[in-house]
Amino acid sequence: MTKKTPQGLGDLVSRLAQTNVELWHEEDKAREPEDAGVARAKRQIDLLNQRRNDLIEAIDDQFLQNSLSSPRKRGSRIGFPPARE
């Protein structure tokens, strides 16, 4: 049975923070002198970077969806105050 992961903005940001921590630890491993360990770390860094990119895209999508579904004053733009009339 697969567990459904919530996709709220807070959950996505939390998962991004956790991924960043994991990425930093793998980057430390990639600086070790042993070549085999560096190669393993580099492969893991690639996977974590992809996860991070996917999460950033999901955050962008969620933010945009939330912004478009919230009521706005006439003439307002997403991320900007309403235009002066």
pLDDT in tens, 41-77: 999 999 999 999 999 999 999 988 887 776 666 666 6
Measured CA to CA, the distance from residue 67 to residue 52 in angstroms comes to 22
**Residue 28 CA: distances (Å) to CA of 24, 82, 85:** 6, 46, 54
3-class DSSP state for residue 80? strand
Q: Is the pLDDT of residue 13 over 70?
A: yes
Run of H or E residues at 39: helix 35-69
**For residue 7, what pLDDT is reported?**
74
Taking residue 20's Cβ as centre, other Cβ atoms within 10 Å add up to: 13
pLDDT, mean of residues 18-42: 95
Measured CA to CA, the distance from residue 36 to residue 49 in angstroms comes to 20
pTM over 0.85: no
